């Protein structure tokens, strides 16, 4: 079955440590996205990528980094510079083009930093 996988589902880290969240898709989608979800704030865009080796900052990119070395993979690193990293993180992908393509979402990773 085609879809998006995110691992792990729950992640715990100590303050000051970098942590990388995995996102893989086998939908052959060009575009991939990372969102952060906090209560009452909806989905906020962290980074997005249209093609391999290219990505753009979203609305809240500070303290995060990404890479896009393969079309299928778009890992997100939460660095120690992110002031409030505890949140639910969603990865998404979509087809490109003007048609009303929706985003497909992974199951998410809940990150807790103490």
Partner 1 sequence: AQTVTQSQPEMSVQEAETVTLSCTYDTSESDYYLFWYKQPPSRQMILVIRQEAYKQQNATENRFSVNFQKAAKSFSLKISDSQLGDAAMYFCAYRSARRTSGTYKYIFGTGTRLKVLA
Number of neighbours of residue 42 by Cβ within 10 angstroms? 9
Q: Which residues contact 97 (CB under 8 A, 6 or more apart)?
A: none
Please tell me whether residue 61 binds partner 1 under the rule CB under 8 A: no
Applying CB under 8 A, which of residues 21, 90, 111, 113 lies at the interface with partner 1? 90
Q: How far lies 79's CA from each of 16, 35, 98, in Å? A: 8, 16, 34
Applying CB under 8 A, which of residues 5, 28, 96, 112 lies at the interface with partner 1? 96
For partner 1, the binding residues (CB under 8 A) are 31, 33, 35, 40-43, 45, 48-51, 54, 56, 58, 88, 90, 92, 94, 96, 98, 100-103, 105, 107-108
């Amino acid at each position: 079955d085609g879809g998006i996988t995110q691992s792990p589902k729950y992640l715990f880290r100590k303050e000051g440590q970098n942590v990388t969240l995995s996102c893989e898709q086998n939908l052959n989608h060009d575009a991939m996205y990372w969102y952060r979800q906090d209560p009452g704030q909806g989905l906020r865009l962290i980074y997005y990528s249209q093609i391999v080796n290219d990505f753009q900052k979203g609305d809240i990119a500070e303290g995060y980094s990404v890479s896009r070395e393969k079309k299928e993979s778009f890992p997100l690193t939460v660095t120690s510079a992110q002031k409030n990293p505890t949140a639910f993180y969603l990865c998404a992908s979509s087809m490109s083009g003007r048609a009303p393509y929706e985003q497909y979402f992974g199951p998410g990773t809940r990150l807790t930093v103490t």
